[in-house]
Amino acid sequence: MTDALRASLLRGGAAGALGGVPQRVDRASQRIGSPVESECGALRMQFAGSWLLQLANHESTTPFERVYRKLPTDGVFSASPNNPVNIELGSFTVPASMSLLILDWRFDVYRPSGIAVGDVMPFEDRRLALQLGWDVVFAGKRPANIEYQITPSLASMGSKAAYSSNPNPGIIPSNGPIPLASQDEFDRARFIQTQGPSGPGASLLPQRHRLDVQPEMPFTFVVEAAQRVQLSAIVFQPISVPISFFEGEFSGLLVGANALKKFLEGAAPCYGE
C-alpha cells in the first residue's frame, strides 16, 4: 500500500467502500456488538456446572442460624394491655469486621401433646392471635416500615367517605381546607394506644409462622458489625391454655464487612456517560 492510499484511508476518503476504518476497542460493549453511549450493560454468560454453581457456598460466607427457646413465666397467665409481659427469647451480637444478612425468621409456641410426658407439639398457625405478638430489634431500632393491628377495633358505621379527609366546603371562612382527621386515623390512634404499653406498639408482629412480608418478596436485613439482634415474645392478654415454651429462630449469612460493601457497590445501578 502506497503512502498516499494509506493517508487517504486514514482521512476517511475510502472508508465507506471498505466498511470503515478499524477503531480501537476499549470497552466490552464494543467487542460484542455496536458501540453504546453507556458503560451500563450485561454480558450473557454460561457458568461451568450450570445452576450448581449458584448452590455452592464460598468460604468467605458463613451460614448462620440461631434457635432460642424460653419457658413461660407466671406473668403470661395474668398479662394485660397495660401490664404486658416481655420475654426475651435471645440475642446475637455481630462480630467485629463482619456483617449479618438475615434471610429468614420464624416464631412459634409449643404445648404438651397429651400423649406422653415431655412430648410437645406447636400450636396451629395464628393460634393465640389476641394474646401475644413478637418483636425483632436491630441495634435498638426496627428498620422495616411495618404496622399491624393486633387488637380488633369497632367498625365504622358511616359511609366510606368517613375514611377520607373532609375539605372545607366553604361554609366556614378560611384561607384553605380545614385539616380534619379521617376516621381511619382515629382507628389507628386507638389500636396504637392499646398496643403502646407493649413497647413495639404498631410494629408488634402478629402470631404467625411466616415472615413479616408476603411470600415471594425480597426479605434481607443487613446488620452491621457490633450491632445486636434481639428477639422477644410479648404477651398482652392472659393465656389460659398450657404452654411448654416459646421459640424464636432466625438464619442468614455472615459475610466480611469489606466483601459485603463490594457486593452492594456492584449491585448499585450504573449511569450512562
Residue with cell 457456598: 57
Residues paired with residue 272 on neighbouring β-strands, in sequence order: none
Give residue 201's pLDDT band: very low, low, confident or very high (50, 70, 90).
low
Give residue 83's pLDDT band: very low, low, confident or very high (50, 70, 90).
confident
Q: Examine the pLDDT at 176 and tell me if it is beyond 50.
A: yes
How far apart, in Å, are the Cα atoms of 36 and each of 27, 45, 162? 9, 20, 55
Greatest mean pLDDT range, 23-27, 152-156, 192-196, 221-225: 221-225
How far apart, in Å, are the Cα atoms of 268 and each of 43, 225, 261? 17, 22, 11
Greatest mean pLDDT range, 2-6, 70-74, 158-162: 70-74
Residues paired with residue 102 on neighbouring β-strands, in sequence order: 221, 252
- CA 144 to CA 268: how far, in whole Å? 21
- CA 171 to CA 191: how far, in whole Å? 33
Give residue 108's pLDDT band: very low, low, confident or very high (50, 70, 90).
very high
How far apart, in Å, are the Cα atoms of 228 and each of 89, 240, 247, 257? 13, 33, 19, 16
Judge contact between 61 and 260, C-beta under 8 A: no
Question: Residue 48 corresponds to which cell in the numbers above?
Answer: 461451568
- CA 49 to CA 58: how far, in whole Å? 15
Lowest mean pLDDT among 105-114, 154-163, 264-273: 154-163
Judge contact between 195 and 201, C-beta under 8 A: yes
Q: Report the pLDDT value the prediction gives residue 13, as an integer from 0 to 100.
A: 47
Q: Examine the pLDDT at 161 and tell me if it is beyond 90.
A: no
Which has the higher per-residue pLDDT, 199 or 140? Answer: 140
Q: Rounded mean pLDDT of the chain? A: 74
Give residue 271's pLDDT band: very low, low, confident or very high (50, 70, 90).
low
- 208-258, pLDDT tens digit by residue? 766 555 555 556 788 999 999 999 999 989 999 999 999 999 999 999 998
**Predicted TM-score (pTM) of this structure:** 0.66
Q: What percent of the chain has pLDDT over 70?
A: 55
Give residue 100's pLDDT band: very low, low, confident or very high (50, 70, 90).
very high
Three-state SS for 82-103 is: CECEEEEEEEEECCCCEEEEEE
Judge contact between 255 and 60, C-beta under 8 A: yes
- CA 268 to CA 109: how far, in whole Å? 40
The four Cα atoms 37, 42, 43, 46 give a dihedral, to 10 degrees, of: -170
Q: What DSSP assignment string belongs to 51-80?
A: THHHHPPPTTEEEEEEEEEEPPPGGGGS-B
Q: Is 268 helix (H, G, I), strand (E, B) or coil?
A: coil
Lowest mean pLDDT among 95-104, 142-151, 221-230: 142-151
Give residue 147's pLDDT band: very low, low, confident or very high (50, 70, 90).
confident
Q: What average pLDDT does range 42-46 have in this prediction? A: 67
